[in-house]
Amino acid sequence: MVRKARARRCGYNRCQRLTAYYSRLVSLPLTNWAGNVTFAAAGLHAPTSSDELRALVAHSDSLRVLGTAHSFNQIADTRADLVSVAALPASVEIDRDRRVATVSAGMRYGDVATRLHAAGFALRNLGSLPHISVAGACATGTHGSGATNGGLATSVNRIEIIRADGEIEQLNRENDAEVFLGSVVSLGCVGVITKVGLDIVPTFDVEQYVYDNLPGDQLIDHFDEIVNAAYSVSLFTTWRGATIDQVWLKNKVNPAEPWRPEPHWMGATIADSGRHPIAGMPVANCTAQLGVAGPWHERLPHFRLEFTPSAGDELQSEYLLPRAHAADAIRALLEIANQIAPILQISEIRTIAADDLWLSPSYGRDSVAFHFTWIKDDAAVRPVLGAIEERLAPFEARPHWGKVFTTEPSIVRTLYPRLPDFEKLMRRFDPAGKFRNAFTDRYVERTGGTSQANSPVSSATAAGRGRRP
């Protein structure tokens, strides 16, 4: 617990610089975005300066960093205190010569993107939601789509960390080699990230088309051709049969080689109006389609920054496995489609390029990701997760760190070959386990330090509380 922290606890009248989401979060009890996890935290701190944050960290026995709370399990939970970096001064500093943007870690991707575009720059890719924070998304291995696009963390070239002793440490890709590779996707275990350096490129425009009703046999027989058909490709399905309900294709605009999609492609038909991935949901929430060109940050995400994509009345799971096994994995999931479909809102299939970040779900392998947006019924979802994990086990499927899953911790640990190195890194930065919690202790086997203050009793719907330990 906090002994002498100078950083004040956050109240509605004292944290004017928090995002709208945090303005809603600051009263106790706190919940995640979906409302399926009630945090056991004693309080939420929102320091407004680096000095306040450093004092808080140095004088805390146990502390966990909270991003935009868009995780669906207990990865951010603690019985001690939470801290948000969203109230720190928001800045985007652009080095035009090196093509690097240094951004405040608590900023949302959508807000960073707006400033970058105004300055003539872009990130290579974005996730489906622009509402998530930079540091939180990177720390959990969050990604967008595109066969040649890495996860969001692959754009990180430097980070600024507040260590457990309150001191600042700078790490960068060029000079810190493997320490850096273990610190970017770190599950919040190495310290409080306050600044992130991101690789940037000249700004570009994107146009987006949607195709309806792609035959399942076409996807299985031509998977690589389909996912390479555009800069970013997403396939949405309800698993009510083999047909893929929608294929979202996003391409960079190239005036010298205009993109003229065919009205019929791979057995699918081009959409004649806007689409939302979930039938019946407002199309206005989604980024513009029908080939209307627009800035990268207004097309690469599926959802617009100014709209909440849904009410949060859902659970989410995702599994990443080697892309070479995509067709076999689809066949395996079709075998249990009758279990998946009744409790599913929508499922998305995406591809992600391999990376070298130790705890990234795409570490060392080009990946295909199977994402599931479920109804908010943990008792109904959990047995189906077990069936999915059983079918995908032969392909060494890695669950997304921030989603709901039931994979045994002992199995999760076998899926990350650099995990022993990550344990050593944790001991170096945080020997007493100040930043760890019950979730990280469970899935990242600990060999030193204690985090007894960090063992929460939280919502029964959080990951790790169901059929499997």
The string of pLDDT tens digits covering residues 435-463 is 999 999 999 976 544 443 454 433 333 33
- In this prediction, residue 467 carries a pLDDT of 31
Can you tell me the distance from the alpha carbon of 192 to that of 105, in angstroms, rounded to the nearest whole number? Answer: 9
pTM: 0.90
Q: What is the mean pLDDT of residues 194-208?
A: 98
Using CA atoms, how far apart are residues 120 and 114, in angstroms rounded to an integer? 10
The tens digit of pLDDT for each residue in 69-90 reads 999 999 999 999 999 999 999 9
Question: 2 pLDDT band (50/70/90 cuts)?
Answer: very low
User: Would the pLDDT of 7 be above 60?
Assistant: no
Rounded Cα distance between 53 and 351, Å, is 37
Q: What is the pLDDT of residues 90-133, one digit of tens each?
A: 999 999 999 999 999 999 999 999 999 999 999 999 999 999 99
Q: What percent of the chain has pLDDT over 90?
A: 84
Residue 282 contacts residue 274 (beta carbons within 8 Å): no
Query: Does the pLDDT value for residue 43 go beyond 90?
Result: no
Dump pLDDT digits (tens) for 396-438.
999 999 999 999 999 999 999 999 999 999 999 999 999 999 9
Q: What is the pLDDT of residue 313?
A: 86
Q: What is the pLDDT of residues 128-148, one digit of tens each?
A: 999 999 999 999 999 999 999
Q: What is the pLDDT of residues 274-331, one digit of tens each?
A: 999 999 999 999 999 999 999 999 999 999 998 876 656 899 999 999 999 999 999 9
All domains of the chain, ordered by start, with CATH? 205-407 (3.30.70.2520)
> Do 216 and 183 contact (CB within 8 A), yes or no?
no
For residue 17, pLDDT beyond 50: no
234: CB partners within 8 A, 6+ apart: 128, 145, 247, 248, 302, 348, 349, 350
Which 8-state DSSP code applies to residue 363? B
Confidence (pLDDT) at 203 = 98
Share of the chain above pLDDT 70, in %: 88
pLDDT band at 28 (very low <50, low <70, confident <90, very high): low
